[in-house]
Amino acid sequence: MSDSNTLKLAKALIQRPSVTPEDAGCQLLLAERLQAIGFEIEHLRFGEVDNLWARRGNARPLLCFAGHTDVVPTGPEDEWTFPPFSATEHEGLLYGRGSADMKGSVAAFVTACERFIATHPDHSGSIAFLITSDEEGPAKDGTIKVIETLENRNEKIDWCLVGEPSSSNKVADVIKNGRRGSLGATLTVHGIQGHVAYPHLARNPVHAFAPALLELSTEAWDQGNDYFPATTFQISNISAGTGATNVIPGTLEVQFNLRFSTELNEQMIRDRVEAILNQHALDYEIDWQLSGNPFLTAEGELVDAIRKAVKTVCRYDTELSTDGGTSDGRFIAPTGAQVVELGPLNATIHQINEHVSIADLDRLSDIYEDALVNLLTRPTS
């Protein structure tokens, strides 16, 4: 059984029950490890959220490892094969909440830096860690606030490697070089409540909305492009009625989300949705919530360095992708940073019995170390 430093640190992090927004001491452990290899430590707390900014060096370019210590709730603990915070090793796998999303990656970040700095103490540029405990929650007091702090003091990230679980079938077979935007809305359609036997005295908002729902759900929002799939529209929740079978509801509430490509922006989507609602003469209110705009890191220094590292360590090529949900990369990319996401398999994230391959953790650490070599040991101009 592997007894690597990456495994040991991953287990120590998983054993801390850091259900969002709690950090449970994870960042203190990370800070201790990083300070020992020359990082300057800042603990940045906003609201109830702990954040860690650690930096080694003052020169540019700045390579930042970004991740989170918070995890989603475990769900029913009696359904887990092993206790969710026990960090149990079994048949080459490490079980525990956060093992894949994303304490395993964070551990691999640290051990990669420890080895790299030991062999390249006078590396070019700088290395930083941006670690939050508010990625799985509202994401209001985490990475976005740290980035605001950095921007206010003109501290710029050039390259950012996010440890989100990007891999599909084998470690590092997919890296994310962008993400779709996410725009949600809560729609309230007003009608007139009444008795089902006297529909002429009422107005059913469900019936009124049905044609608009059909149009929204079949609309071709765009065709995507070379980097992004076509924009999608999905209803997530819909509710109406009092619970009685003989009452026409007075209101209908619908929650929906659009994951959108760079072919569209927030205002374009809002205008098109509201045009459809208006076309059907609905009496409605709509509350929009933008979670993040799409971003894309074109092929360049960071993508090339990661691709080269994967090829060196794994002996196969990696695929670029922009699918999946949002990540904290959406807060970092608008500053001008190149952003790439690379982490373990995503097959069990947020599930009962979340787990990660122990061998994959070691491979990830090796990939991260090789990326450091590729980016920070070249001659400076």
Q: Which residues are catalytic?
A: 70, 135
* C-alpha span between 30 and 111 (Å, rounded): 11
> How close are the terminal C-alpha atoms of the chain, in Å?
45
Contact in structure between 350 and 101 (CB atoms under 8 Å): yes
> 114, 94, 140, 119: which is closest to 34 by C-alpha?
114
Beta pairing, strands 181-190 & 232-240: unpaired
Contact in structure between 314 and 172 (CB atoms under 8 Å): yes
C-alpha angle 13-16-20 in degrees, rounded to nearest 5: 100
Phi, psi of 258 (to 5 degrees): -120, 125
Q: What percent of the residues of the chain are helix, what percent strand, and what percent coil, each to the nearest 5?
A: 35, 25, 40
Close Cβ partners of 114 (under 8 Å, ≥ 6 residues apart): 5, 33, 37
Contact in structure between 313 and 370 (CB atoms under 8 Å): yes
Report which residue type is found at 198.
Y
Give how far Cα 291 sits from Cα of 36, 268, 294, 328, Å.
Answer: 37, 16, 10, 10
Give how far Cα 48 sits from Cα of 45, 128, 132, 165, Å.
Answer: 7, 23, 11, 26
* C-alpha span between 251 and 204 (Å, rounded): 8
